[in-house]
Structure 1
Amino acid sequence: MKKLLDIQIDEIGTFLERPNRFISHIRLDSGEEIIAHVHDTGRLTELLIPGSKVMIRRAKMDGKRKTQWDLIASITEDDQCVLINASFQRRIADKILNDESISPFGKCEKVKAEVKYGKSRLDYLIEKDNKNIWLESKGVSLSRNRRATFPASPSTRACKHLQELMCIKENGERAGVILLIFRESDIFEPMWEVDKKFSKLFYEAMDKGIEIYPIQIVLNKKGELFYSDKKILIEENKGDTK
């Protein structure tokens, strides 16, 4: 494994509730109840379970900030630390893509973030051997029986990205998706029962040559976040069998 980041962790508390998608109520070991910002609009019901342990940090306060804490990760029953703070995803992807020893693309001339394509913006444009590789990055926090799955809720945006990548591929350039898997998994599969359109597009994109790279990410209770070279397989297309 290779360390990517050190994330500040100030407390491990007990999750109480999430009254809306932006905030969570957490009890500290001292008994104090605090409110922490949730930087992930996903449902996260499989991770934010009343009574479960969560990792939090004190926030840098400014004039617009209302909460003094940030929710960073959930600790599962089997003691895995699962990152659920989407603000770190860009930094993680940047670290991987700019390190030729772990990047799925090896050594590249340039890695540009947030690049305009048509009327949209894609996460990355990589220049390798004087050719372009267009790339999207997705964070995956849900895993059931070591099967990582995405999306956790219907995602029009994710569908649009796949369609854009297929257009790029049809125009003769490389295109791909890196999947940052935040819970230990062996296989990745799209979640048919949640977003049938995305799931169909995912396999259509693969058939058309879109490159898919599932990458295992490991976080410990110290806040040390690692890249793992473990290979995660992609489930073959069995269609909507749910």
Structure 2
Amino acid sequence: MKYEGIVKAIFIERPNRFIALCKVNQEICKVHVKNTGRCAELLIKGVTVYLQESEDPKRKTKYSLIAVEKGNRLINMDSQAPNEVVEEALASGKLKLPGMEEGLTFIKREVTYDASRFDFYVETYEKKGFVEVKGVTLEQDGYVMFPDAPTERGLRHVEELIKAKQEGYECYVVFVIQMKDVLYFKPHVERQKAFAEALKRADKLGVRLLAYDCLVTPDTLELDHSVQVQLEEV
């Protein structure tokens, strides 16, 4: 995916989860944060960030926060972006789902199943499945984790993917790592043990857990290579 109107800025502070203050060309601007997670390890005063300028004159904020530099690493933190890059990769065939390698014949976003709405419903000529996408921005010592804050919604998604798998659907959780050059992915046990345990249970019952890193520039994001999912510590 490609962003238009990207500008470089300096992060100052985040008064609440929706708004940040950034310095753009020596002017302090209110910026919309497109990620309601904590992101405390990313949004540190003085770091370089990349903003997308809006062309809508009616918007309360002129910019949206898209990416942030963490040392030598550029991390996209747009929470809407993972679904976009997964849809692109599914449609192009770059992302081949295990068990559905013969190729998808139908892809639909935002499909309700039981009490959840999964990100994608997919079909081949013979199989049907659900795909839930989770964006990953939390990195520590080269490995990445999810979630960065407890997520009851995410936990419910995993539990209902297990149910759908038992009813005959192919089911997947795709962790989109919004950065490059990481060692492996693992659930954040310390932040939400119940989610980590649910992932391990889902894996044993046939839900496929996939993780992919991304090629990131200030104005692009593209799904790239498969990354190892490590569950042993759960």
TM-score by length of 1: 0.90
> C-alpha distance in 2, partners of 1:134/1:225?
23
Equivalence for 1:171: 167
DSSP 3-state at the match of 2:92: coil
> C-alpha distance in 2, partners of 1:122/1:224?
25
Equivalent pairs: percent with the same residue? 26
Equivalence for 1:189: 186
> C-alpha distance in 2, partners of 1:151/1:160?
13
Equivalence for 1:121: 117
- Please tell me the residue identity of whatever aligns with 1:45: A
TM-score by length of 2: 0.93
> C-alpha distance in 2, partners of 1:200/1:192?
8
- Please tell me the residue identity of whatever aligns with 1:167: K
> C-alpha distance in 2, partners of 1:59/1:141?
24
1:99 aligns with 2:114: no
> C-alpha distance in 1, partners of 2:220/2:120?
25
Counterpart mapping for 1:67-216 below 5 A: 67-78=61-72, 80-104=73-97, 105-106=100-101, 107-184=103-180, 185-216=182-213
Structure 1: 4+ residue segments shifted above 4 A: none
Q: CA deviation at 1:38?
A: 0.3
DSSP 3-state at the match of 1:166: helix
> C-alpha distance in 2, partners of 1:60/1:154?
34
Q: CA deviation at 1:9?
A: 4.4
- Choose the corresponding residue for 1:24, options 20, 25, 28: 20
**The 10-residue stretch of structure 1 (114-123 or 136-145) with the greater mean CA deviation from structure 2:** 114-123
> C-alpha distance in 2, partners of 1:62/1:14?
23
DSSP 3-state at the match of 2:159: helix
Q: Identify unmatched segments of 5+ residues in structure 2.
A: none
Contact residue 123 and residue 136 of structure 1 kept, 8 A: yes
> C-alpha distance in 2, partners of 1:119/1:195?
21
DSSP 3-state at the match of 2:156: helix
Q: Identify unmatched segments of 5+ residues in structure 1.
A: none
| RMSD over equivalenced CA pairs, Å | 1.5
- Please tell me the residue identity of whatever aligns with 2:56: M
Equivalence for 1:43: 38
Q: CA deviation at 1:62?
A: 5.3
- How many residues get paired? 230
- Choose the corresponding residue for 2:3, options 1, 7, 21: 7
> C-alpha distance in 2, partners of 1:101/1:35?
37
Measured against aligned partners, the alpha-carbon deviations of 1:82-120 in whole angstroms (never above 9, x if no partner) come to 111112232212101111133335421101111121233
Q: CA deviation at 1:61?
A: 2.1
- Please tell me the residue identity of whatever aligns with 1:11: V
DSSP 3-state at the match of 1:61: coil
- Please tell me the residue identity of whatever aligns with 1:148: V
- Choose the corresponding residue for 1:55, options 50, 57, 65: 50
Q: CA deviation at 1:122?
A: 1.1
> C-alpha distance in 2, partners of 1:98/1:207?
28
